[in-house]
Chains A and B, each alone.
Chain A
Amino acid sequence: MKTMFRALFSAFFQVVAKELQGAFRHGSDILNPVWFFIIVVTLFPLGIGTDPALLERIAPGIIWVAALLAALLSFERLFKDDFIDGSLEQLMLSPFPLAWLVSAKVFAHWLLTGLPLLLVSPLLATFLSLDIDTYIALFLTLLIGTPILSLFGAIGVALTVGLRKGGILLSLIMLPLSIPILIFSTMAIDAASYGQSYIGLLALLGAMLITAIILAPFAIAASLRVSVS
C-alpha cells in the first residue's frame, strides 16, 4: 500500500518535472502569455481614457477577461506537442491512472501560466490604480480562479487536441463554462473595493475549485481517450 502511494506520487512529480523542464527550454512559451496579459490590460486605459476612478471601477473586469484570454492562448500547448510526438499515448499506456497523470500535467501547466499571472498582477494593479485592499482581493481570486481555468481549459483541449483547427473551437467550448469564475471573481473584487466582506464569494470559488479538482481529471482523461483513438 505504502509503496503504491509512493509510486503514485513519484509518477506525479516526474510528470510535473518533465513538463517544467520542457517549458524552461523554450522560455518564450512561458513569457508570451504573460506579455499578452500585460498588453491587453494596457490597451484598456489607452482605449477608454485614464481617469483613475473609471479605471478602478472597471479594473476587475479587465484583469479577469485578460486573464481568461491569456489562459486560452496558453492551452494549446498543454497536450498538443505530446499528442503530435506520441508521448500522450505513452502516458495512456502507463500503469498509472490517466486521470492522475493528467492532473499532474494540469498542475504543471498552472505553474507555468497561472502563477506568472499572479506574479505580474501587482504591476497591473498599479496601472489600473487599485488600492491595496482591492488588490489583495484580486490576488486571492486569481489564486483560486486560475487553477479552475486550467482544469476547465484542459477538458476543452483534451476534446479538441486531435482536430486540426481546434483553437477557435476551444474558446467556444471553454469561455461559456468559465463565466461563473469571472462573475464570482469580479464580484469579490468589487465588494473589496467598497470595503465589504467578500469571504463568501471566495468560498464559492474555492468550492468550484475543489469540485473541479475532483471531477475534471476524469473528464480530461475520458476526452483524451476520445481524441487519441
Chain B
Amino acid sequence: MWKWLHPYAKPEKSYQLAGKLLPWFVVLTVITFIIGLLWGLLFAPADYQQGDSFRIIYIHVPAAMMAMGAYSSMAIAAFVALVWQIRLAEMTVAATAPIGAVFTFIALFTGAAWGKPMWGAWWVWDARLTSELILLFVYLGIIALYNAFSDKVLAGRAASILTLVGVINLPVIHYSVVWWNTLHQGPTISKFGKPSMAVEMLWPLLIMIAAFATLLGALILMRFRNEILTRESHRPWVRQLALNNVKITGKN
C-alpha cells in the first residue's frame, strides 16, 4: 500500500490526482442535488404537523452533518500531517477549514430559519444549535490562526495542532452543552431527534446528504489544488502549467 501511496507525497502527482477526481465529484454533486432537491422540495409529502416548513430539513441536516464531517476529515489529515510529517495533509487541513466553517454557518442559518416557525424564535439555546455555534467558533479560530502566520508551512502545522486539540475537546463541548441545556431549561422539544421518518421523506434526505458529501469533496479538491499551486508557485512544474494555460487560451 505504501508503494501505491508514495508518489502522492509529491505535490505534482497529488495535484493531478485531485484534478482527475474533481470532475467525478462535480458530476455526482450536480446529479444528486437535482434529484434530491426536486424530490425533497416538490414531491415528498408535507409533514402532518409542520406542513411545508419541514422541507428545510433537506438543507439543514446535510449541512450540519457535513460540517462535522469536514471537521473529522480535517482531524484525520492533521493527525497524518503531524505523525508522518506530510506537508500535503497540512494543506488539506488549510483547504478544508473555510469550507467547514461555511457549512456550519449554513446549518446554523437554516436552523434559525427553521426555528422561527417551529419554536417562534430565531434563536433558541437548543443543545445542538449551541454546539454547532461553538463548532463555528472553533473553525474560525483555526482559520484565524492559519491566516496569522506569514510562513504557510508553519501556519499549516499550527492549524493542524489546533485541529487535533479541538477534536479532543469537541465531544466534551457537545456533551457539556447537552447537559447544560437539559439541566437549565428542561428538555427542549427537539425536532431533530426524528422518530422514524416516513420512507418518502427519508429517501430525499439521504440523497441530499450524499449531495452535500460530494459537494464537500469537490470543494475540498478545488481548494486543495489551489493551495498546492500557491505554495508551489516557484516550482518549475507550476510554471510549466501556467505557460501551457497561456498557450491554450492564446490559441482560442
Mask of B156-176 contacts with A, CB within 8 angstroms, 1/0: 011001101110110011001
Within 8 A of A (CB), among B157-197: 157-158, 161-162, 164-166, 168-169, 172-173, 176-177, 179-180, 183
- Give the bracket for the number of chain A residues in contact with chain B: 20 to 34
Interface positions of B from 102 to 121, Cβ below 8 Å from A = none
Task: For the complex, give the distance between the alpha carbons of A208 and B168 in Å.
Answer: 11
**A117 beta carbon closer than 8 Å to chain B:** no
If A179-B176, A187-B183 touch, whether A222 touches B166 (CB-CB below 8 Å) is no
The stretch from A10-18, A48-56, A139-147, A170-178 touching chain B is A170-178
Chain B, interface SS category: helix
Chain A residues in 8 Å Cβ range of B164: 219
A160 to B144, CA, bound (A): 11
Tell me whether A177 and B140 are in contact (CB under 8 A): no
B158 touches A159 (CB 8 A): yes
A171 to chain B, nearest CB (A): 9
Across-interface contacts of B148 in A (CB, < 8 A): 160, 163, 165-166, 169
If the complex has contacts A173-B162, A229-B154, are A179 and B173 also in contact, measured as CB distance less than 8 A? yes
Say whether, besides A169-B144, A169-B145, A177-B138, A223 and B158 are in contact (CB < 8 Å): yes
Expressed in whole angstroms, the Cα–Cα distance for A175 and B157 within the complex equals 21
For chain B, the count of residues having a C-beta within 8 Å of the partner chain is: 27
The answer on a CB contact under 8 Å between A222 and B179 is no
B137 to chain A: closest residue by CB: A176
Q: Which residue of A lies closest to B157 (CB)?
A: A226
CB of B228 within 8 Å of the partner chain: no
Give chain A nearest CB distance to B26 CB in angstroms. Answer: 33
Q: Answer whether residue A106 sits at the interface, using C-beta atoms and an 8 A cutoff.
A: no
* Interface 1/0 per residue, A137-162 and B, CB below 8 Å: 00000000000000000010001101
A215 at interface, CB cutoff 8 A = yes
A209–B170 Cα gap in the complex (Å)?
A: 16
Q: Does B11 contact A (CB under 8 A)?
A: no
Tell me, in angstroms, the Cα distance from A209 to B94 when the chains sit together: 30
Does A184 reach chain B (CB closer than 8 Å)?
yes
**Interchain CB contact under 8 A, B177 and A176:** no
A176-B137, A183-B180, A229-B154 known; A208+B165 contact, CB < 8 A:
no
State how many angstroms separate the Cβ of B176 from the closest Cβ of chain A: 4
| Complex-state Cα separation, A169 to B137, whole angstroms | 12
Residues of A within 8 A of B144 (CB): 169, 172-173
- 7 closest A-B pairs by beta carbon, nearest first, are A176-B137, A180-B176, A183-B176, A173-B141, A183-B180, A180-B172, A226-B157
CB within 8 Å of B: which residues of A? Answer: 155, 159-160, 162-163, 165-166, 169, 172-173, 175-177, 179-180, 183-184, 187, 190, 208, 211, 215, 219, 222-223, 226-227, 229
